[in-house]
Chains A and B, each alone.
Chain A
């Protein structure tokens, strides 16, 4: 069967009434949480993970897909109306979109963002569906050394390639790797770094750590700033519909944004931000109205928003086909799979095709639902933006602890939540990025297993790791991604890299 047959089968799974209901709940919750200021997609997904604990695997993952796409949509509304991007990938949207809103063109800005997200999500999900079987075929010949090389590449791109300091990126990554060592060694069964605490034998829960880092750390940081003026909300005036000239100026940026964003998300290049920046630069260069850029150009919303969503779908390519999360959001999604004992990767396509294709198909359905849900209900979402900060953060912490308690109602687990929250606060204070520590924690054990398997095959010969062309090329790219930015920074060209930095996803 080709990808098309599988996709049709998946649509049949995802179109069952219960599954549609799960998808609807997912997109609604995802949008509602994603729209709240200060909450990016990674935190949205982490906060809503406990809602899915007691569902069956298919229903839960479908709800999850809805939450993921919903969180992305919600984030763009926040950045257009509040000018406080909840996530780094929305910075550009905030730049042009908020200017449009101030000129009374908030409606068209929201519309072009929503429709652009829809088109990008549609094309990118279809690309995902048609690419996935090919990558799975390639991945079937991957051995432990290729996987190890892929993970090294993901480590480097997440931690050192972008951001304002390789030192702090790498420190964050190595702290994650150190935490990943806690627990029973998967190959010999020996307990490591558990200090006599039985709970630690299972290792450190990724969701506890992610929620602590993103929710608790962020709440502490914002509280410490003690600036309690609520951000100024720009009201949506006039028609929310786009005029004919808005359409004419939007459709090309949507398509360009999609084809810029998708490959960047699909490569282990760390985050959606880069795609949005590239798309913005492209639109600025190609626009017939370059003078409007910086003052509310609709192309500057349409292109980057499409790129943002396309690369979000792109990160699902390595996640589903290789089991490789390349962003914090994807790392939390991987944790969502693992709660059902599912390991994404080529094997999952073979052993549980209904589930995988149902998930991909439900992404398409979620995308349609979001378009319908977003434009007419925009007034409702805007109301959510006006929640005052005390209630907002009190609620965030309530749900953050709820997730931890729901997964494991123990005092020790809450203590870890608090401990990692304080660590996350300290890291924010000193300018350490958060994504590397999360990715290090979740990928660390896998990288170790693949490394040790590879070395078992070669009987301890390290040269084996670079003797396969694929592994050698991947490791070579990883080395370049580590060294080139170091040289650029040393020559004082680091500003561009720090602009590409991502906090969250």
Chain B
């Protein structure tokens, strides 16, 4: 199916806000960050003990990846996020260190009109990927996704989708939610997930999407991004007035200045406002960054069940890099 209207949710998923902006465009809910948060979040939060502050939260037990998971060949398809149609003329790049620093560790160009791309990635290890159009096309924005983890797959191969956000989608979603998008800044979008969500699930699977959560964004000093706005989606469509995530779990932050930002997921659980999870995102001008937040996890990394001891079958046929230590996801 096409995603004629679903593209809007993705864009919104870029951010979370306290529900409004002040005269200078920054969040105004600093004084009362919980205003409008009038429902208990709907989701499974049994994997950890939430608390009112990040420091007081007892996070989920660290996931220890199986030893030497090796590499996996990702048989990917690059898809337009809005149309869910394959896109050619795109390059997929991976940074194995889960940080965009220097040249990517590996890049591959889409091989056909079907959007096929084959690329090798370490299995069970967070990486950052970027889809980017070939120069001069003017069709799509560079789309980053940090903390992506590929499982071990079958026979050393795993299927995956790399999303590419078109210029059209990138511009239209903010316009609909009354945001004048600034090309010197970037956007972040993502989904709020509860404990039941497995990273191997496909985006169309609604399992574990949290209703009733909010996001806040801040830098290392705890300051919110000046001029940024956070919006939530309703039924996969961006909504100006939605005060927290709806059942689709989607949120978006727009006009976030370039830099390193922490995204914190919070919600009312059992009548108390608590922190549910955190992730980090590196924002670049005029790009979109997909950053999902996992309940119970403090760094935005959650390993698929197949990567955890006893989590399932799977094997790799690519020799493991023995220098790579086992990954621990918190």
> Is the A/B pair a real complex?
no
Residues of B at the A interface (CB closer than 8 Å) are none
